[in-house]
Amino acid sequence: MDAGVLNLDTLLLVQICVTLLTTALLVASACYADSPPEQRWWAAGNVAVSIGMVMCNVDGLPLLVNNILGYGVIAFGIALVLRGLRVYCNNTLSWTTIGIITGIALVVMAYYTLVAPSLRARLCFSGFYYAILNWMCAFAIARRGSWRVSGIAVAGFVLLGVALFLRGTHMLTHSDPADAASSLVMALSTLAVPLAQICIAFGVILMVMWRYAERLRRLSTLDALTGALNRAGLEMQGKRTGLRAQRGGRSLAVIMIDVDFFKVINDTYGHPVGDEVLRHLARLVRLELRPHDLLARFGGEEFVLVLDGVDRPSALKVAERLRARIEYEMVELDKLSVRYTASMGVVCSDQHDYDLIRLISAGDAAMYEAKRAGRNRVAAG
């Protein structure tokens, strides 16, 4: 393969077309009311990069636009993309930093255009500078992990940075830009740029799709009021927890929790106070949770706590500690102060095997035994 096959002008045209197409793709995906902010930053950044590339490559434009402003607009666009990536990773990039990134490009390009004119210096700097910015984009999402989701985008940013860095290195070591334009290195680097842009565009869209899928999964398995698992989530995760405990030879305890006289609370203070009681109970129970434990709202005012590696005596201690804390705490809402209590039933796999349905059924029976015994107490099943 030689440089004649890879005609540089054709490749530059392909690069600009791919940039415009990927930009249109990102803009279209961001043009709806509920699009996440990072998607809008990516779209805006790609629009700026496209405008900057047109400003740098269209002949007949003023020198200020062609050699200075165009490069600054490209740097500004990459900075916006970087901001979007950091927003995706629950961070941000200040406007001061974006201004500095843009200002560096403008100042250097102005120097090599007006003070010490040098096409070679401009091409070398732009290659190195844009490579660093793209590697910063790759690092921003790589440090977050989740390679299965972000790997394509990371690879695209890395490839784009490598292509631009090789272009800058080639221009640095080649004395005549006109000869460099026909070199195989320049042609290959120009070919790599649109391939990297396609990877980046599809990579960031994949990241957004994964985030939406994760939100939908959470919505389908979580109780909207308390943030605890719902019954579907409990069934799905509870089976895994039970199997993990069984394979590890550990005990599995279940604590059934039911708010005493919850209907009276709703009738006396109203449903908003009743909802706050349920949220308050969920917060208190979470204080007892370890990483592999589960909390689920089983229905109405009834909750399930699944404890991995906890035997019956230890589970009874946890339940009694939780019962006392609930009795002591006060729920406050709109200048109302409400106390409530809870009855609990405790069962363990040591007596009822590891089947979660059986454990919940036995725990439910123990909990109603606690209610029949006077409420605000713990019963073992």
Catalytic annotation, pick one of 301, 320, 329, 332: 301
Residue 302 known to be catalytic: no
Cα separation, 116 vs 31, in Å, equals: 43
| Residues involved in catalysis | 301
